[in-house]
Structure 1
Amino acid sequence: MRIDLHTHSTASDGTDTPTELVRNAVATGLDVVALTDHDTVGGHDEATAAVRALDTPFTLVTGAELSCRIGGVSMHMLAYLFDRAEPELARERELVRDDRVPRAQGMVAKLRELGVPVTWERVAEIAGDGAVGRPHVATAMVELGVVPTVSDAFTDEWLANGGRAYVEKHEFDPFDAIRLVKGAGGVAVFAHPGAAKRGQTVPESVIAELAAAGLDGLEVDHMDHDEPTRARLRSLADELDLLITGSSDYHGSRKSCRLGEYTTDPEVYREIFRRATGAVPISAI
Structure 2
Amino acid sequence: ADALVAAGVVSDRSEAFASILTSHSRYFVQHYAPDPTTAVELVRAAGGVPVFAHPVASGRGRVVGERTYREMIDAGLLGLEVEHRDNPEEGREFLRGLAAKHGLLMTGSSDYHGTGKPNLLGENLTAPEVLARIEELATGSVVVRG
TM-score class, shorter-chain normalisation, is 0.7 to 0.9
Q: 1:214 aligns with which of 76, 98, 118?
A: 76
Q: Which amino acid aligns with 1:251?
A: H
Write the distance in 1 (CA, Å) between the matches of 2:137 and 2:5: 42
- Please state if 1:263 is matched with 2:145: no
Q: Which amino acid aligns with 2:50?
A: A
> Could you state the TM-score of these two structures normalised by the residue count of structure 1?
0.47
- Please state if 1:194 is matched with 2:48: no
Write the distance in 1 (CA, Å) between the matches of 2:121 and 2:2: 20
Alignment match, 1:276: 138
The answer to whether the 8 A contact 1:208-1:240 is kept is no
Write the distance in 1 (CA, Å) between the matches of 2:26 and 2:100: 38
Alignment match, 1:150: 13
With over 3 angstroms needed to count, the CA separation of the structure-2 counterparts of 1:161 and 1:216, relative to structure 1, is same
Larger radius of gyration: 1
Alignment match, 1:35: none
Offset of residue 254 of structure 1 = 4.2
Write the distance in 2 (CA, Å) between the matches of 1:202 and 1:191: 12
Q: Which runs of 4+ in 1 moved over 6 A?
A: none
Offset of residue 213 of structure 1 = 0.8
Which secondary structure state, in structure 1, belongs to the residue aligned with residue 50 of structure 2? strand
Alignment match, 2:43: 181
- Per-residue CA deviation, residues 206-241 of structure 1 (Å, 9 max, x unaligned), is 011101110111111112112222222222222232
Write the distance in 2 (CA, Å) between the matches of 1:250 and 1:158: 20
Write the distance in 1 (CA, Å) between the matches of 2:120 and 2:74: 33
Alignment match, 2:112: 250
| Identical amino acids, percent of aligned pairs | 48
Say which structure, 1 or 2, has more relative contact order (CA 8 Å, 6+ apart).
1
Write the distance in 1 (CA, Å) between the matches of 2:25 and 2:102: 33
Write the distance in 2 (CA, Å) between the matches of 1:172 and 1:184: 15
Q: Would you say how many aligned residue pairs link Structure 1 and Structure 2?
A: 146
CA RMSD of aligned residues (A): 2.0
Write the distance in 1 (CA, Å) between the matches of 2:48 and 2:112: 22
Offset of residue 255 of structure 1 = 2.6
Alignment match, 2:29: 167
Write the distance in 2 (CA, Å) between the matches of 1:177 and 1:222: 21
The answer to whether the 8 A contact 1:160-1:199 is kept is no
Where in structure 2 are the equivalents of 1:83-122 lying within 5 Å?
none
Q: Which amino acid aligns with 1:222?
A: H
Which secondary structure state, in structure 1, belongs to the residue aligned with residue 115 of structure 2? helix
Which secondary structure state, in structure 2, belongs to the residue aligned with residue 151 of structure 1? helix
Q: Unpaired segments of 5 or more residues in structure 2?
A: none
